[in-house]
């Protein structure tokens, strides 16, 4: 079997779950690949590892690609792991914050991981929130720089400890906070709770480098098939998520992950649409991550896109 390395910036999470599920369910192995995941945090360091040849794939946020590959040079999107902006804003349950009320952040301290906070900042700006005027503090999630820590889980712990008023993180963190009674969801862009335009700011994606494609296109195709197979397997039987969680997660999160993934299943489509790319480009330009407007062929490995529907 060929050895294959897949970087993820967050492991105990639903964000990049199809990629780690493809490993845990032996779908990479069925494609002849001995795949191992590597937890590399923060997210931009995962892309730097791809750029430098330390890994073969990254499962991460689409907009963060640009931190390691300026102007989208030398890198390709292989598939969407799921569609749309996938982080939620969770606030303390004792606050007077209603679903969809962006103004709930005024005067509050919100935690978010590096570059995960970029969509939140832009969303708030687009919604008329001035961070300085409205006394909104966006800070790094406490505890995330300890080895092996996953950001959503750490955010829920920080909220419970009273270190923050809210957090912008994945649905696993949201589920932890809601389940313990300390948090409530204020923004959930995927499900229409918040500005509709924010849906296409970014998305979770499977990514590789041009150099990896040139070196071993068969391995890239096999890895992509494995991840798409994981998306489909989870749609057919979401209880497989529990089996994956029990292999990789702490016990509490292992028992929660199937419910969290079940909510994401409608978005488990590998297709990268022109609409999604246009939204990603607009967002990246507006946040100074991107200057130009790269064509689809520069951003997406179109030679493999037939596998999305195979």
CATH number of the domain that residue 303 is part of:
3.40.190.10
- 69: containing domain: 2-84+202-309
Assess whether 18 and 78 both reside in one domain.
yes
Assess whether 70 and 159 both reside in one domain.
no
Q: How far apart are CA 79 and CA 77, in angstroms?
A: 6
Assess whether 284 and 150 both reside in one domain.
no
Can you give the pLDDT at residue 153? 83
Match 């590597």 to its residue by tokens.
38
Can you give the pLDDT at residue 310? 81
Q: Which of these three, 145, 176, 199, is where a domain ends?
A: 199
Assess whether 80 and 208 both reside in one domain.
yes
Can you give the pLDDT at residue 148? 59
Assess whether 97 and 46 both reside in one domain.
no
Assess whether 188 and 264 both reside in one domain.
no
Assess whether 171 and 208 both reside in one domain.
no
Instruction: Supply the mean pLDDT for the chain.
Output: 96
Can you give the pLDDT at residue 296? 98
Sheet with 166-169: strands ordered across: 137-140, 109-112, 166-169, 88-92, 183-188
Token pair for 289: 């991550």
Assess whether 93 and 154 both reside in one domain.
yes
Under the phi-then-psi rule, with left for phi > 0, alpha for psi from -120 to 50, and beta for the rest, what region is 192? left
For the chain, give the number of residues: 310
Assess whether 98 and 167 both reside in one domain.
yes
Residues 258-267: contacts with CB within 8 Å, 24+ apart?
Answer: 259/175, 260/14, 260/171, 260/172, 260/175, 261/14, 261/17, 261/234, 262/238, 263/171, 264/14, 264/17, 264/82, 264/86, 264/171, 265/234, 265/235, 265/238, 267/82, 267/83, 267/84, 267/86, 267/190
Our count of domains for the chain comes to 2
CA atoms within 13 A on the CB side of 293: 4
Closest-CA residue to 155 (of 135, 125, 137, 175): 175
Can you give the pLDDT at residue 89? 98
Token pair for 260: 């969290």
Assess whether 96 and 157 both reside in one domain.
yes
Can you give the pLDDT at residue 146? 65
Successive 10-residue mean pLDDT values, the chain, 310 residues: 96 95 98 97 96 98 98 98 98 96 98 96 98 97 72 88 95 92 97 96 98 98 98 98 96 94 97 98 98 98 96
Q: Which of these three, 157, 183, 199, is where a domain ends?
A: 199
pTM: 0.96
Q: Which of these three, 150, 180, 199, is where a domain ends?
A: 199
Assess whether 97 and 56 both reside in one domain.
no
Alpha helices in the chain (DSSP H): 17-24, 27-30, 43-51, 65-68, 117-126, 151-160, 171-179, 210-215, 217-236, 240-248, 251-264, 274-286, 296-299
Assess whether 53 and 20 both reside in one domain.
yes
Q: How far apart are CA 229 and CA 38, in angstroms?
A: 20
């Amino acid at each position: 079997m060929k050895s294959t390395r897949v970087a993820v910036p967050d492991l105990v999470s639903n964000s990049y779950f199809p990629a780690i599920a493809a490993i845990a369910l032996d779908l990479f192995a069925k494609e002849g690949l001995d795949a191992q995941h590597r937890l590399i945090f923060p997210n931009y360091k995962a892309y730097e590892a791809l750029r430098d040849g330390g890994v073969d794939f990254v499962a991460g946020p689409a907009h963060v690609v640009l931190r390691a590959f300026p102007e989208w040079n030398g890198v390709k999107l292989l598939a969407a792991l799921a569609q749309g902006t996938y982080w939620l804003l969770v606030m303390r349950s004792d606050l007077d914050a209603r679903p969809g009320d962006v103004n709930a952040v005024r005067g509050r301290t919100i935690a978010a991981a590096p570059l995960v906070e970029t969509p939140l900042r832009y969303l708030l700006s687009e919604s008329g929130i001035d961070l300085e005027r409205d006394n909104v503090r966006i800070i790094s999630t406490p505890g995330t720089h300890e080895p092996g820590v996953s950001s959503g889980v750490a955010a829920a712990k920080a909220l419970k400890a009273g270190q923050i008023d809210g957090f912008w993180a994945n649905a696993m963190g949201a589920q932890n906070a809601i389940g313990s009674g300390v948090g409530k969801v204020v923004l959930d862009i995927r499900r229409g709770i918040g500005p509709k335009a924010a849906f296409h700011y970014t998305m979770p994606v499977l990514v590789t480098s041009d150099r990896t494609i040139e070196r071993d296109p068969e391995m890239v195709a096999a890895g992509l098939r494995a991840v798409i197979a994981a998306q489909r397997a989870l749609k057919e039987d979401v209880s497989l998520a529990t089996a994956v969680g029990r292999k990789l997660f702490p016990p509490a999160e292992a028992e929660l992950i199937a419910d969290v993934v079940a909510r994401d299943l409608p978005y488990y489509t590998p297709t990268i649409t022109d609409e999604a790319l246009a939204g990603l480009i607009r967002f990246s330009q507006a946040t100074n991550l991107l200057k130009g407007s790269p064509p689809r062929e520069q951003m997406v490995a179109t030679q493999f896109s037939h596998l999305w529907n195979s």
